[in-house]
């Protein structure tokens, strides 16, 4: 290759040539020509080869896929940067008008319900198609098809559990009702958007296109959220803990009834009916969660299988707050409901806000993308909300299985498993084949030679979709009560109020009654499936259940027209008519809410929405109230007469904690000290005893137990409670010093709120902002689990409604509504859930077509 | 790489035949027109497929009077493509700097592909 660096040009060369003699020129020129032609040809050939190889190589390499997606101008991913709703959409269900307000909330108006829900499907898909498809893939066990090997185990679990079959059974039931056509219209809207609109950027990042949405997929979303709220293998863990620690010690560390007096119901509320007549002594014992010592369950399921299954439960801390104050205590004279569900915090948020106006309904509020109807929100006459009960609606069974593994023993005879062979496609890996099995009770989960049977109330046709559809159309209390009867799944604390002044609390969801030898028993245990122990009468896995053996509606915990009532996942009632469960939350939030509500209604000032919003922002930590005085006293005793540097450090920290107001505020140093201290204290208290029996921190008791452990508890045998507290503070200070944190908000940030693809594409995550709140505060935020208030609303039925979402209503990264509510959410600065869309700059979509 | 301005070697006699681009390379007005055509066509085609960025880089370099300037022309085409890309994104362009790592692919492509194409300047 010739490389000339500013050398002579063609004219200079010609002049030099002229000065030479003709023979010499001829000779030299001839030589140069031959040599030059040879070299130049080589150079050109090399360059041509490099250009061709570079171009063809790029086109044929893996880089081509990247360039296809992200090359400037032509990259498919950039199409997603310019998505906007069309002005008109053809609808097979007739006309509808959608106005997207200045917070990205769609307001759908139509004369025909199906036309409205076609538009709802279109808008949900436009804003949230990727999360919809992702959840669908998770529940169907098709995640590895686009993600690869990393999610194979998740797919194996979800396929084995048969969620998709349960969704199909549910759709089979729903399709026969008047709700069915609305779900079909919704699915049609989703598919219309999928076809007509540019896909969100996530599909380009993963390199796939979604399959058409089906009505059964919407039923699958119901199963998904229900699993998140009630899918618990606590019975397996309890059996393991009993085995490892001994039943008596386990009963002390994991009490079936936490010692507090802040249940949701006092027991003197007005009821529809239902009583205890006819219940035997064992039933009364069972209902409190107590266990009959004479009834010993089968041996615990293998710990590896227990751990594996526990990995597919909901994250720690899923719960919620809700409360209602009757009109006689409010400024306007109408009841008020406040609500904030604590679920996984993700980008985009789990919830999607929408409003639908038809001649049959006027409803606004939050739903999960994929679900057509508002789940929690307000109509023009009422408002309703749901928090998790913590009810026990999943049972585990052990079976005697024959050597071939094809049959199980059931009530004295061998039965063949119902089997099905399923494929799990794996992107970039070897596809898996899984043989699923079922027993008379439900899915039979096998892993590495270990097995357990599962029965879950979601594994049958459920009417929850009908219930939430009817709640949105309810015209008063009786309609709402009728809708509540159909709310089969999940078990939720429904809090309701309407413009007529009616209020209601009802524990929704089907509650199984388990019997052994005819007597009702508690269910936090593993049942002997081969002996037919504890099985649910009237339950048909993957079919239609009659629910005949379940708790009658009138006998579920409820209260009609309660005056002031709050729920925070604590124990529902001290004396339920039937066993509900033992998986209740520690009462910190519940006690704090009740305390402040009682004080408010006892005061002279009427309670207004601002009070409720301020209460939702309450960050006083009940754990700190209990523990900090003891910690400060322990430090004082430990440092008395000690002038060392460590002593000064401890004394300074104790002084900060002593002066601290127990509020988990982002700008608080005391909150940071307490947060890190209780984490270390928990580990120091439980780790030695639990590690000795091979139980990790997932098995540690809750913080209520930690805070109330007496100084003479065996856990403090080797190191006193006070010494453990001081040691924990030393470790907490070490961690804080190493990390460079100054205040709580340095650690407690929204960096925990990530997008499912945020690891590979971190730009999709939300920005890191300091956050208030802890796992034990009313304003709930669990930075370690990315769980917290996933929606906050305050509603005065028939008057006004306000809400805020943790992030934004759009899942489109390029949309201004991707995270436009994040800061408002941190401050609980709620926006109106308006009946009249604000501003003139919102998008409007006209759905046009003839009704069928 | 040749840098003789005519597409010929360092000795004019090394070129067996004159470059078809010689006149364009010599005359600034023709060169400017050609370059403009290359840019417009190149960017238009680059919105269809990224290979057009290679072609645009090649075409821009071929009209350059020297190989070195050919490289500069190709990179200029890349810069113009980047500007056109940002404009095409509208308000979403503000998100680009945060969009790591995918924005690295875009930036590498917008300059790297025309640069690859500029190898053509040494061939013709």
pLDDT per position as a tens digit, B51-62: 999 999 999 999
Q: Which of B11, B53, B103 is facing A13, going by the closest CB pair?
A: B11
Q: Which of B9, B106, B117 is facing A75, going by the closest CB pair?
A: B106
Is the per-residue pLDDT at A292 higher than 90?
Answer: no
| pLDDT recorded at residue A317 | 67
Shortest CA gap A73–chain B (Å):
5
pLDDT tens digits, one per residue of A584-607: 999 999 999 999 999 999 988 779
Residue with tokens 């930590």: A621
Q: Would you call B50 and A68 a contact, using CB atoms and an 8 Å cutoff?
A: yes
Q: Would you call B50 and A33 a contact, using CB atoms and an 8 Å cutoff?
A: no
Interface of A with B in 673-702 (CB under 8 A): none
Q: Would you call B13 and A70 a contact, using CB atoms and an 8 Å cutoff?
A: no
| pLDDT recorded at residue A454 | 97
Please report which confidence band the pLDDT of residue A299 belongs to, taking 50, 70 and 90 as the band edges: low
Contact list, A32 vs chain B (CB under 8 Å): 11, 13-14
Please report which confidence band the pLDDT of residue A144 belongs to, taking 50, 70 and 90 as the band edges: very high
Strands (E), A280-431: 319-325, 336-344, 352-358, 361-367, 376-379, 382-388, 394-398, 407-410, 413-416, 418-424
Q: Would you call B105 and A10 a contact, using CB atoms and an 8 Å cutoff?
A: no
Q: Are strands A432-438 and A443-447 parallel, antiparallel or unpaired?
A: antiparallel
Q: Would you call A74 and B50 a contact, using CB atoms and an 8 Å cutoff?
A: yes
Quick one: average pLDDT of B98-115?
94
Please report which confidence band the pLDDT of residue A838 belongs to, taking 50, 70 and 90 as the band edges: low
Cα–Cα nearest to A454, from A534, A521, A384, A562: A534
Tell me which of A184 and B18 has the higher pLDDT. Answer: A184
A113-140 and A152-161 helices, crossing angle to 10°: 120
Q: Would you call A73 and B3 a contact, using CB atoms and an 8 Å cutoff?
A: no
Quick one: average pLDDT of B28-41?
93
Q: Would you call A33 and B14 a contact, using CB atoms and an 8 Å cutoff?
A: yes
| pLDDT recorded at residue B4 | 41
C-alpha to C-alpha distance for A288 and A164, rounded to whole angstroms: 34
Is the per-residue pLDDT at A284 higher than 60?
Answer: no
Is the per-residue pLDDT at A477 higher than 90?
Answer: yes
Interface of A with B in 12-41 (CB under 8 A): 13-14, 29, 32-33, 36-37, 39-40
C-alpha to C-alpha distance for A533 and A96, rounded to whole angstroms: 54
Q: Would you call A47 and B1 a contact, using CB atoms and an 8 Å cutoff?
A: yes
Quick one: average pLDDT of A50-71?
92
A52 and chain B in contact, CB less than 8 A? no
Q: Would you call B49 and A66 a contact, using CB atoms and an 8 Å cutoff?
A: no
Please report which confidence band the pLDDT of residue B8 belongs to, taking 50, 70 and 90 as the band edges: very low
| pLDDT recorded at residue A268 | 84
Q: Would you call A74 and B14 a contact, using CB atoms and an 8 Å cutoff?
A: no
| pLDDT recorded at residue A291 | 52
Q: Would you call A50 and B119 a contact, using CB atoms and an 8 Å cutoff?
A: yes
| pLDDT recorded at residue A39 | 77
Quick one: average pLDDT of A710-739?
97
Sign of CA dihedral A675, A677, A683, A689: negative
Q: Which of A50, A73, A814 is facing B84, going by the closest CB pair?
A: A73
Contact list, A39 vs chain B (CB under 8 Å): 9, 14
| pLDDT recorded at residue B11 | 39
| pLDDT recorded at residue A25 | 57
| Across A34-43, A185-194, A515-524, least confident range | A34-43
Cα–Cα nearest to A315, from A825, A664, A698: A698
B51-62 and A22-60 helices, crossing angle to 10°: 160
pLDDT tens digits, one per residue of A617-675: 999 999 999 999 999 999 999 999 888 999 999 999 999 999 999 999 999 999 999 99
C-alpha to C-alpha distance for A422 and A844, rounded to whole angstroms: 44
Shortest CA gap A65–chain B (Å):
11
Q: Would you call A9 and B100 a contact, using CB atoms and an 8 Å cutoff?
A: no
A428 and chain B in contact, CB less than 8 A? no
Contact list, A54 vs chain B (CB under 8 Å): 116, 119
Interface of A with B in 814-843 (CB under 8 A): 814
Contact list, A60 vs chain B (CB under 8 Å): none
Contact list, A78 vs chain B (CB under 8 Å): 85, 88-89
Contact list, B15 vs chain A (CB under 8 Å): 36, 40
Contact list, A69 vs chain B (CB under 8 Å): 102, 105
Q: Would you call A9 and B46 a contact, using CB atoms and an 8 Å cutoff?
A: no
A55 and chain B in contact, CB less than 8 A? yes
Q: Would you call A7 and B12 a contact, using CB atoms and an 8 Å cutoff?
A: no
CA atoms within 13 A on the CB side of B113: 34
Contact between A831 and A802 under an 8 Å Cβ cutoff? The reply is yes
C-alpha to C-alpha distance for A94 and A274, rounded to whole angstroms: 47
Quick one: average pLDDT of A534-552?
96
Contact between A510 and A457 under an 8 Å Cβ cutoff? The reply is yes
DSSP state of A314: P
Please report which confidence band the pLDDT of residue A41 belongs to, taking 50, 70 and 90 as the band edges: confident
| pLDDT recorded at residue A524 | 82
A7 and chain B in contact, CB less than 8 A? yes
| pLDDT recorded at residue A40 | 78
Q: Would you call B2 and A54 a contact, using CB atoms and an 8 Å cutoff?
A: no
Interface of A with B in 195-224 (CB under 8 A): 205
Interface of A with B in 566-595 (CB under 8 A): none
- Chain A / chain B CB contacts < 8 angstroms: 143
Mean pLDDT of chain A: 91
Contact between A591 and A569 under an 8 Å Cβ cutoff? The reply is no
Q: Which of B8, B13, B16 is facing A29, going by the closest CB pair?
A: B13
Bond prior to A516 in cis (omega within 30° of 0) = no
C-alpha to C-alpha distance for A53 and A56, rounded to whole angstroms: 5
Contact list, A8 vs chain B (CB under 8 Å): 10
Tell which of B1, B10, B65 to mutate to test the A interface (max A CBs under 10 Å): B10
Q: Would you call B85 and A73 a contact, using CB atoms and an 8 Å cutoff?
A: yes
Proportion of chain A above pLDDT 90, given as a percent: 81
Mean pLDDT of chain B: 86
| pLDDT recorded at residue A43 | 84
C-alpha to C-alpha distance for A2 and B12, rounded to whole angstroms: 12
A72 and chain B in contact, CB less than 8 A? yes
Please report which confidence band the pLDDT of residue A752 belongs to, taking 50, 70 and 90 as the band edges: very high
Interface of A with B in 81-100 (CB under 8 A): 81-82
**pTM for this predicted structure:** 0.90
| Across A107-111, A749-753, A802-806, B120-124, least confident range | B120-124
Cα–Cα nearest to A612, from A480, A804, A748, A745: A804
């Amino acid at each position: 290759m010739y490389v000339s660096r500013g050398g002579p040009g063609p004219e200079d060369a010609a002049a030099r040539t002229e000065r030479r003699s003709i023979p010499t020129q001829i000779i030299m020129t001839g030589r140069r020509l031959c040599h030059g032609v040879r070299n130049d040809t080589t150079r050109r050939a090399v360059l041509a080869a490099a250009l061709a190889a570079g171009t063809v190589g790029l086109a044929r390499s893996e880089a081509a896929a990247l360039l296809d997606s992200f090359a400037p101008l032509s990259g498919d991913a950039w199409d997603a940067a310019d998505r906007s709703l069309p002005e008109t959409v053809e609808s097979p269900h007739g006309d509808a008008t959608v106005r997207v307000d200045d917070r990205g909330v769609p307001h759908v108006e139509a004369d025909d319900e199906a036309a409205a829900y076609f538009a709802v499907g279109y808008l949900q898909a436009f804003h949230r198609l990727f999360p919809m498809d992702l959840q669908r893939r998770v529940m169907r066990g098709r995640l590895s098809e686009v993600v690869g090997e990393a999610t194979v185990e998740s797919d194996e679990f979800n396929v084995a559990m048969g969620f998709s079959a349960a969704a199909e059974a549910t759709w089979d039931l729903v399709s026969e009702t008047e709700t069915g056509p609305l779900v079909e219209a919704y699915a049609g809207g989703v598919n219309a958007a999928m076809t007509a609109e540019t896909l969100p950027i996530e599909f380009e990042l993963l390199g796939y296109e979604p399959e058409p949405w089906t009505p059964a997929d919407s039923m699958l979303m119901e199963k998904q959220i229900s699993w998140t709220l009630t899918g618990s293998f606590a019975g397996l863990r309890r059996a393991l803990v009993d085995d490892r620690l001994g039943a008596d010690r386990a009963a002390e560390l994991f009490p079936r009834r936490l010692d507090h007096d802040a249940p949701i119901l006092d027991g003197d509320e007005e009821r529809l009916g239902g009583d205890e007549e006819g219940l035997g002594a064992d039933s009364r014992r069972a209902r409190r969660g107590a266990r009959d010592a004479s009834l010993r369950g089968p041996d615990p399921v293998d710990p590896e299988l227990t751990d594996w299954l526990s990995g597919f439960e909901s994250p720690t801390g899923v719960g919620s707050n809700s409360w209602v104050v009757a009109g006689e205590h409010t400024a306007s004279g109408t009841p008020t409901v406040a609500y904030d569900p604590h679920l996984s915090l993700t980008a985009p948020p789990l919830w999607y806000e929408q409003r639908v106006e038809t001649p049959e309904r006027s409803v606004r509020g939050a739903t999960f993308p994929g679900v057509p109807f508002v789940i929690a929100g307000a109509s023009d006459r009422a408002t309703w909300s749901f928090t998790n009960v913590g009810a026990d609606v999943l049972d585990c069974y052990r079976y005697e299985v024959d050597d071939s593994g094809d049959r199980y023993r059931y009530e004295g005879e061998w039965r063949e498993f119902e089997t099905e062979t399923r494929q799990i496609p794996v992107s970039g890996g070897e596809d898996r084949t899984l043989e699923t099995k079922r027993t008379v009770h439900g899915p039979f989960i096998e892993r590495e030679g270990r097995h357990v049977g599962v029965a879950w109330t979601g594994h049958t046709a459920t009417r929850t979709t009908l219930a939430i559809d009817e709640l949105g159309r309810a015209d008063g209390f009786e309609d709402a009560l009728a809708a509540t009867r159909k709310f089969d799944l999940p078990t939720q604390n429904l809090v309701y109020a309407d413009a007529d002044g009616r209020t209601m609390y009802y524990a929704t969801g089907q509650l199984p009654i388990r019997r052994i030898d005819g007597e009702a028993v508690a269910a936090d245990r593993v049942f002997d499936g081969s002996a037919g122990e504890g099985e649910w009468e009237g339950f048909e896995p993957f079919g239609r259940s009659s629910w005949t053996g379940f708790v009658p509606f009138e006998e579920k915990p409820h209260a009609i027209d309660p005056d002031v009532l709050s729920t925070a996942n604590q124990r529902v009632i001290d004396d339920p008519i039937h066993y509900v469960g033992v998986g209740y939350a520690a009462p910190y939030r519940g006690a704090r809410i009740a305390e402040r509500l009682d004080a408010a209604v006892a005061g002279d000032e009427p309670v207004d929405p601002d009070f409720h919003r301020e209460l939702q922002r309450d960050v006083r930590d009940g754990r700190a109230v209990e523990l900090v005085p003891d910690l400060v006293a322990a430090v004082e005793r430990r440092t008395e007469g000690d002038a060392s540097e460590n002593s000064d450090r401890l004394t300074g920290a104790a002084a900060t904690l002593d002066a601290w107001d127990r509020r988990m505020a982002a700008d608080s140093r005391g909150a940071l000290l307490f947060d890190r201290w209780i984490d270390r204290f928990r580990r120091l208290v439980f780790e030695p005893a639990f590690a000795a029996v091979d139980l990790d921190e997932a098995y540690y008791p809750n913080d209520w137990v930690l805070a109330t452990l007496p100084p003479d508890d065996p856990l403090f045998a080797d190191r006193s409670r006070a010494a453990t507290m001081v040691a924990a503070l030393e470790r907490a200070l070490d961690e804080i010093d190493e990390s460079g944190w100054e205040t709580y908000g340095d650690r407690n940030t929204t960096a925990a709120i990530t997008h499912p693809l945020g690891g590979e594409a971190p730009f999709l995550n939300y920005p890191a902002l300091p956050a208030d709140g802890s796992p034990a505060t009313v304003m709930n935020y669990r930075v370690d689990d990315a769980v917290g208030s996933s929606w906050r609303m305050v509603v005065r039925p028939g008057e006004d409604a306000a809400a805020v979402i943790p992030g934004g209503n759009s899942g489109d990264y390029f949309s201004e509504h991707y995270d436009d509510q994040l800061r408002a959410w941190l401050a609980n600065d709620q926006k109106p859930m308006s009946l009249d869309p604000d501003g003139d700059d919102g998008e409007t979509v006209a759905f046009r077509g003839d009704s069928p | 790489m040749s840098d003789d301005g005519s597409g010929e070697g360092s000795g004019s006699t090394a070129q067996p035949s004159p470059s078809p681009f010689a006149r364009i390379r010599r005359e600034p007005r023709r060169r400017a027109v050609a370059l403009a055509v290359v840019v417009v066509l190149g960017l238009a085609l680059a919105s269809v497929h990224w290979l057009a960025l290679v072609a645009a880089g090649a075409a821009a370099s071929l009209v350059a009077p020297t190989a070195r300037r050919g490289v500069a022309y190709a990179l200029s085409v890349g810069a113009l493509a980047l500007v056109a890309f940002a404009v095409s994104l509208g308000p979403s362009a503000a998100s680009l700097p945060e969009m790591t790592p995918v924005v690295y692919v875009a930036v590498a492509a917008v300059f790297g592909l025309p640069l690859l194409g500029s190898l053509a300047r040494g061939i013709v």
